Structure 1
Amino acid sequence: MTHYLWYIDIGAAAAQTVIVALIFRNYLGVGFTRIGKILLSVAATLLIESVSMIMIYYMWLSWGLGMEVAAPTLLITILNLIVTSLLYVISRL
């Protein structure tokens, strides 16, 4: 039996992936400057991390890992989602 927290984990990671893609799009305008290359690198790294989180959470879900793993990862994912949302707000300035 799978725990419902895994579905929340995967949903939060998917939301983070969308937000990071928007951040990446916001930085494309300054991508050819020195700071722009750094910002695009950070956004690309976060995008890879978000997609990796989705794949790993799905793998752990298929293994049948329970709440003992899903709850701490949910906390980490929610914190990542909050920080990524703040970065999106900053990228809009």
Structure 2
Amino acid sequence: MLSLRASGGCAFPSVVHDLSISGFSAAAINRMHEGQVCWLTLPGLESLQAQVVWWENCIVGCAFTELLSPIVHDNIIQRYAQMGAYRSV
């Protein structure tokens, strides 16, 4: 299960809208504040630490603390594309 957790909070299910090697945007049920630390957990991977850059209308934009490996990024995109969950913009 894909989840998002803000520092000091409980993890909640989320939907990632965009994913790059430097960050992501995802659905956030509660307001998140610029600079807040959070963790994105994708199935089969360790939690990825990030920092909130923006929040608007229940969508949060975050920058990863460490860049995601391009190989890991490609594997994630490929896995979700096979499930029919990947959407190109």
TM-score by length of 1: 0.27
Question: 1 or 2 for the larger relative contact order (CA 8 Å, sep ≥6)?
Answer: 1
Greater share of helix = 1
Structure number, greater radius of gyration: 1
TM-score by length of 2: 0.28
